[in-house]
Structure 1
């Protein structure tokens, strides 16, 4: 199925991003932090209708984002040993955090900096072989003002080539039009297997705002034959569920992107999935099962 056509997608793949790496641990009691909580949240989201669980891990003691492979291993083992089927999608975005020094000393990086090469960013993927992992397709400015997310062209070429060798499908996270342009270059160079999988990320400061016009422009640049989905942060999450399906794409919700079910009401991951499912049901669409999504995305069988 070609999701690049601007028509209503009547068979939607729903992803739940269950925890993320943002500083939301102290903002909601529902955010999963420990490996058990993250695995349980992924399973609950799957039971609510999510075909894919997008997973980060956190330090169980502090709630801070982590890239500890042992934490990923426990989460993945718990999901795989459960009786619930869900496609595992692990982040590789951690390790791209560059906090520049103040004033005329930008190379005096602050202690928050955690910037490593692409191979180190995918150590847990090498070990655990999920069916999907994210690949952030470019660098961009982000809040706070001295922060830059770093994902260079060379890093992406190295990462794409290694994931291709592993048989793990990269979810190409694109935050700006230039990221799509570069991803198409990876495809042209043979570093991505067809069909590629794109995730359009909206309302991440300071990349693409969550507007219909921006969303349409990004969709128009997705290559023919690609699978794609889209999401937006915060209060734009649910409107962009409808917008993505209307444009022909798949959808993503979850506490990584938004912690509220409605104004003043904190959500769980399963509640966000259920709300998205209700919206899609009212639009006349259906949700794909994990088995159906594997076929659509042409995922390679892993462990």
Structure 2
């Protein structure tokens, strides 16, 4: 069991959530301010997406990532920075003509998804471990074995720690293959993502089964979306894992009570303490994950 628990705050995400809560940050200033505030509240890691400042939708603009990272690094805190590299995998198909792509498609190669990682060299970046029917409708997230091998090899060359995003058991199987092939440097870091339609349900028994599939020496974090987010902090810690909270995955502190990133971070930390554990500082997280510290 972990003595020190790494707490990640995922501050904004890629979902269409800005109209659902005024607390979801959009601009680089807002995203960085929330990341800094979460770190001041005790978050070990901040997980960053960026958004188009006009449409408020998800973006792959390197300049936006550059500004968020600059502002965080200029602050009085030093959290581990984890940049998403999952954007660029969205394929929206016309169900009556599957050869036709519909608006909302943003599909680029695995290497193109790493443009901001190439420039900014964060300590961690995510890599989504498989293709998934993403919710209702005809939106498919595309991440093929060939893309993943190519992307993992490049991330390894850059000296960045990949956080392998696991949305279902088949994703976990393939992640283990990459580890066995030497494309993921030890110790591997898994993120077990639960409750996202139509991936792995947020079921404690399934989480236990997935933890049982992890290779020896692996680190893992797990989160549940929506109302499962805060209970899932305890689920993950009790199975020896780390935790993630934040407005990317959940907008509420309690029924009808909209949350801020700071409030979710503070609540997660309180749960960790109630379970008799302590929260890792950013430098302790770097030691646990064996990160290549960036300038």
> What TM-score bracket applies, with the shorter chain setting the length?
over 0.9
Give the alignment of 1:183-222 within 5 angstroms. 183-222=175-214
Matching residue of 1:34: 27
SS of residue matched to 1:133: strand
Matching residue of 1:262: 254
Q: Which runs of 5+ in 2 are unaligned?
A: none
CA distance in structure 1 between the partners assigned to 2:136 and 2:54 by the alignment: 24
CA distance in structure 2 between the partners assigned to 1:216 and 1:149 by the alignment: 25
Residue 99 (structure 2) pairs with residue 107 (structure 1): yes
TM-fit CA distance, 1:102: 2.1
Matching residue of 1:75: 68
CA distance in structure 2 between the partners assigned to 1:112 and 1:278 by the alignment: 39
Deviations 1:7-54 (A, max 9, x none): 4x3310000000000000100010010000000100000111110000
TM-fit CA distance, 1:282: 1.0
CA distance in structure 1 between the partners assigned to 2:195 and 2:176 by the alignment: 22
SS of residue matched to 2:221: strand
Q: Which runs of 5+ in 1 are unaligned?
A: 1-6
Residue 128 (structure 2) pairs with residue 136 (structure 1): yes
Deviations 1:192-242 (A, max 9, x none): 101000000000000011011111111111111001110010000011100
TM-fit CA distance, 1:280: 1.2
Runs of 4+ in 1 over 6 A off after TM superposition: none
Normalising by structure 2, we get a TM-score of 0.99
Aligned residues: 295
Residue 44 (structure 2) pairs with residue 54 (structure 1): no
Root mean square deviation, CA, Å: 0.8
Give the alignment of 1:167-178 within 5 angstroms. 167-178=159-170
TM-fit CA distance, 1:83: 1.4
Deviations 1:264-298 (A, max 9, x none): 00000000000111111111110000000000000
TM-fit CA distance, 1:78: 0.5
TM-fit CA distance, 1:259: 0.4
SS of residue matched to 2:207: helix
Among 233, 250, 253, the alignment partner of 2:242 is: 250
Among 9, 12, 15, the alignment partner of 1:16 is: 9
Matching residue of 1:284: 276
Matching residue of 1:3: none
Matching residue of 2:150: 158
Normalising by structure 1, we get a TM-score of 0.96
Matching residue of 2:89: 96
